[in-house]
Chains A and B, each alone.
Chain A
Amino acid sequence: MTGAATLALVLALLLFVVGVAVLTAMARDALAAVVVFGAYSLGLAILWLVFRAPDVGLTEAAVGAGVTTSLLLVALGRTGWAGLGPSFSLSFDARSLVGPVAVVLALSLTLPALSPVGDPEAPGFGGASAYYLANAGSLGIENVVTAVLVVYRGFDTFGEVAVVFAAGVATLVVLGREVP
């Protein structure tokens, strides 16, 4: 893809993602909010693909648009909860928005210190990343993300698997009954 086409795609996707996030915030019907959140996940998954992160895109599509949406739908079906209103509305309490707006403004103050997106001279590209990219091929692994996950940073992945298992156990503790 040419530069202008990629730029237009990225801008359109960013606009779509922000718009759908605002729609999710506005939805008062729980089912509508869940469905709109599924569309938000899909837009994000396409954005990861355009940013050349295929593993993250596949995981986001499977997890966000697949698992999270279906878990929410199943929970809504079990409780029969319909939400607090029939449709979308933009009413909010101005006092409770002071905190999030302050957080966004404080974070935006860091923008001039960040290097532009796509800068090859950014500080993240040297050091460990250069080592991983150079040496993953000698292990016989072509997917550098898998090599980093399992071989070079296996301890974090082990912690993550333990967290996933702990979440399963926690759900069983909260919702389990004695009969199987």
Chain B
Amino acid sequence: MQRPESPVVTKTVRVVSPFVLTFGLFTLLHGTKSVGGGFQGGVVVATVVVALGFGFGVDETRRALDRQTLVGTAAAGVVLFGLVAVGSLLRGAPVLDLTAYPVATVYVVELVEVGIGVTVAGVVTTLFFQLGRASDE
């Protein structure tokens, strides 16, 4: 899949990516106050990596983010959600009762959203890299 890179795509991706990444993180962290949340923010962040892959070549982008880190962060998101879910048992409340923590519920929800977003971003990026890898590696 060796193809000369288009300078238009490369330049555009280089200019636009920081803004899209910031917007993705904003959407992730503002899920409680406006439209957004973990899934939307995670998918937008993964889209930034996909755009970088289209602009600079999938193999170069894949070498910058190795597989162990990606799968590890995706697993960490699931574990974070699980810990928050089970942690309410320590307070004597049922599982997944997010109002049982001493902090305001909004912060616990945002922690869960970060976990969800990290998992979704990691898995979508892994999907993209696995599908786009050249078949001789």
A78-B134, A140-B106 known; A71 and B128 CB under 8 Å? yes
- B95-137 contacts to A, CB under 8 A, are 96, 98-99, 104-106, 109, 112-113, 115-116, 119-120, 122-124, 126-128, 130-135, 137
Q: State in angstroms the CA–CA spacing of A154 and B21 once bound together.
A: 27
- Say which residue of B81, B135, B137 sits within 8 Å of A158 (CB atoms): B81
Majority secondary structure, B binding face: helix
- B25 CB to nearest chain A CB (Å): 14
- The reply to whether B47 and A58 form a contact with Cβ atoms under 8 Å apart is no
- CB 8 Å contact bits of B35-61 with A (1 = contact, 0 = none): 111011001101100100110001000
**A67 within 8 Å of B by Cβ?**
yes
- Across the interface, which residues of A come within 8 angstroms of B85, CB to CB? 154, 158
- The reply to whether B122 and A168 form a contact with Cβ atoms under 8 Å apart is yes
Sort chain A's interface into a size bin.
35 or more
**A15 within 8 Å of B by Cβ?**
no
Sort chain B's interface into a size bin.
35 or more
- The reply to whether A139 and B35 form a contact with Cβ atoms under 8 Å apart is no
Residue of B nearest to A140 (CB): B106
**A89 within 8 Å of B by Cβ?**
no
- The reply to whether A66 and B112 form a contact with Cβ atoms under 8 Å apart is no
Residues of A participating in the B interface, judged by any CB pair closer than 8 Å: 54-55, 58-59, 62-63, 66-67, 70-71, 74-75, 77-78, 139-143, 145-147, 149-151, 154-155, 157-158, 161-162, 164-165, 167-169, 171-172, 175-177, 179-180
